[in-house]
A and B are shown apart, each in its own frame.
Chain A
Amino acid sequence: MKKTFTINISGTLFHIEEDAYEKLQGYLIKLKSHFGNTQEGREIVADIEMRIAELFTEKGKGENKVIINEWVDEVISTMGTPEDFKAQEGEEVGASFTAKRKRRLYRNGDNRVFAGVCSGLAVYFKIDPLVMRIIFVVLFFANGVGLLAYLILWIAVPRAQTTAQRLEMRGEEVTVSNIEKSVRDDAQGDTTAAAAGITPPATKASASKVTASGQADRSPEVARSLLRIIAVTVGIFLIMTGFLGLLGFISTVIVGQTFLADWPVMWNPDLPFHGLLNQFITPSGAAWGVTFLALLVGIPLLAILYAGTKLVFRYRSNNTAIGLIMVGLWLVGLMGLVTVAAREAGNFKSNATLSGSETLYPTPGKTLYLKLAEDKFDDFGEMEADLPRCKAVLADDKVVLLGEPRLDIEKSATNDFVLVVKKQSRGRTQGDANNNIQTILYHYQLADTVLTFDPWYLLGDQAKWRDQRLDMTLKVPEGSTVFLSDGMEEIIWDIDNVSNTWDRDMVGKSWKMQPEGLSWTDAPLPVQDTTITEIRNDTVR
């Protein structure tokens, strides 16, 4: 049993078997592309279809009424394929069409080393294929750019197979000067025709009309030339955008930084995620993330590049399969990235808090001097990061994540200074969050009356960023005074005071805890460091 279709060839109905139908359709498509989509070409194909219908009608007079595969084979061998026409007509016939054809980029199968890309480009630019090959080899050593370009062109540019395509490959050059020339030639042709008085049989009154209509006929051609120039310009822009975008993106992913940063390019994808990414995403998550991101970003860039080359070189390409695969891969990238992101977000699901407090006994008693310790990480290179309350530095080739502590000052319920240290973190589970808290490392120390804070807390050696936070509250008893040294503005955060003074204006002053709150006071100057005799090192665990 076989499936049949009913088809209409030039007004006659036929029943045709499925495989025969496909073969016939392929043949007709080949004919159409050979003769071209001009009025002339369509007429020729219509004539041929008429003849095919006739041949089938003759065959259908016997027992069998359904067109079978063998009949189609017979008809094709009777009518001949474009290749047969070429053999019959000889190359010269084709050459006479050359002038009319627009030049398109094809891969040249007649003269190829791998896929005929260089040869095709050489034919397109009318240069020696060897020159083109040398250019590609040189580009190959420039970061493999040549290889990438070659592969893209290999996939995107079709091979010249039919005679028509071979002719198009060698067609008229599309350059601005050529377009100008053709426009100029047209104009001259008109004036000479008018001068010689070669006008259609018409009265003198209508002669000017004829010339006018002649000009009107030419204007679409001028418009087409202009459109072509615009298309080529846009195409070149797209090629550069796509190409530099891809280059920048690849170098960002692989090397970790884009070396195009200083180039005068129109768009430069600067994604500083390499290395840093590993600080808050699990390694497998990062690898998958980068893969999916490459699909998500790379495919549109490839598409831009493809569209650009297509605009510039005007090649035909009907590679639907590759297009669909690309769209499919892009969707995979999108869904993959969403999945990875959702999984990684799960690492922030649980929240844990750990509080500890210490009562401080500053000797001699009623005043505490607060100062910030020297920033040990100031000299190290800081990595670009955009994590809240966190910075990443490169210390001895190792990435260290540092958090910004915060200090608030409140009234103490007792008669003693009390420092409350609260640590928070997130994690996939409560246990994870707790572990992340355990690795937070922070130092402060009290010496006599001087309380010194480290400007940073460490997130831990192997720790990932899980929104770890460290908030301290210094509880000051009523009647006692604190002096905020310069530099403390780095860590103090929103301290309530009677005069509503801003944090950064509170430093360099003494503040006394009054019943109504913290208020500015003329207090003694801070003690000198030389008076520190005893150092206590306190670490809140």
Chain B
Amino acid sequence: MNIENSKAQMRKGILEYCILRVLSGKPRYASDIIAELKEARMIVVEGTLYPLLNRLKNDGLLGYRWEESSQGPPRKYYELTPEGRTFLGELEMSWLELVEAVARIKSHQETTTEAEKTENN
């Protein structure tokens, strides 16, 4: 079992959720998304984002349009499609469930270990 691999797996699912989350407001263009995710320390290298955006777009969760920019060539602005919104909603639910599940397991463990401690004592 490779620890890096496990971490990557964990991060991967959550990264999709984070991208959709970032885009849940107004349309953003790639560099905005990157800046936000980098700040949140969700990605290390930017190159990983593009295949993911592409896949989400091909799956119909994201759409984009070109917008003129004052500082250079036109930019791709991504936004959520209605399907993307539904998808995000489900991911939100699932995320909350996961957080809750992890928290429950942890608290259960803590209580049992404390119980063991008291027994040993």
Contacts and interface: CB of A to CB of B under 8 A. Distances in A.
Interface of A: 10-12, 31, 35, 40, 43-44, 47-48, 50-51, 53-54, 57, 77-81, 84-85, 87-93
Determine which residue in B46, B47, B51, B75 has the highest number of CB atoms from chain A within 10 A of its CB, and name it. Answer: B47
Given A80-B45, A92-B9, 9 more contacts: A10-B73, A31-B47, A40-B58, A51-B50, A80-B48, A85-B51, A88-B11, A88-B48, A90-B5
Contacts of B8: 87-90
B71 A35 contact: no
A81 B30 CA distance: 18
Interface string B35-73: 000000001111110110110001000000000000111
A44 B51 contact: yes
B72 A79 contact: no
Nearest to B4: A87
A47 B30 contact: yes
B76 interface: yes
B30 A88 contact: no
A80 B46 contact: yes
Nearest to A82: B47
Nearest to A91: B5
A50 B29 CA distance: 11
Contact of B12 (A12, A44, A81, A89): A89
A78 B31 CA distance: 12
B54 A90 contact: no
Q: 9 nearest interchain CB pairs?
A: A80-B45, A90-B8, A80-B47, A11-B73, A79-B47, A47-B50, A84-B45, A88-B48, A44-B50
A290 to B, nearest CB: 55
Contacts of B4: 87, 90
Contacts of B58: 40
Determine which residue in B5, B11, B45 has the highest number of CB atoms from chain A within 10 A of its CB, and name it. Answer: B45
Q: Provide the main secondary structure of the chain B interface.
A: helix
A85 B73 CA distance: 27
Contacts of A47: 30, 50, 53-54, 76
Contacts of A48: 46-47, 50
B54 A44 contact: yes
B73 A90 contact: no
Contacts of A89: 8, 12, 48
Nearest to B9: A90
A85 B52 CA distance: 11
A86 to B, nearest CB: 9
Contacts of B47: 31, 48, 79-81, 84-85
B46 to A, nearest CB: 5
A11 B44 CA distance: 27
Contacts of B45: 77-81, 84-85, 88
15 contacts: A40-B54, A43-B54, A44-B54, A48-B46, A50-B73, A50-B75, A51-B30, A51-B50, A53-B72, A78-B45, A88-B8, A90-B4, A90-B8, A90-B9, A92-B9
A11 B68 CA distance: 13
Contact of B72 (A12, A31, A84, A85): A12
Contacts of B76: 47, 50
Contacts of B72: 12, 53-54, 57
A89 B45 CA distance: 11
Interface string B1-14: 00011001101100
Contacts of B71: 57
A166 B47 CA distance: 19
Contacts of A91: 5
A329 to B, nearest CB: 41
A34 to B, nearest CB: 9
A84 B5 contact: no
A72 to B, nearest CB: 14
A360 to B, nearest CB: 102
A51 B45 CA distance: 12
Contacts of A11: 73
Contacts of A90: 4-5, 8-9, 12
A80 B8 CA distance: 15
B87 to A, nearest CB: 18
Contacts of B30: 47, 50-51
B103 to A, nearest CB: 25
Given A87-B8, A88-B8, A51 B54 contact: no
A257 B75 CA distance: 72
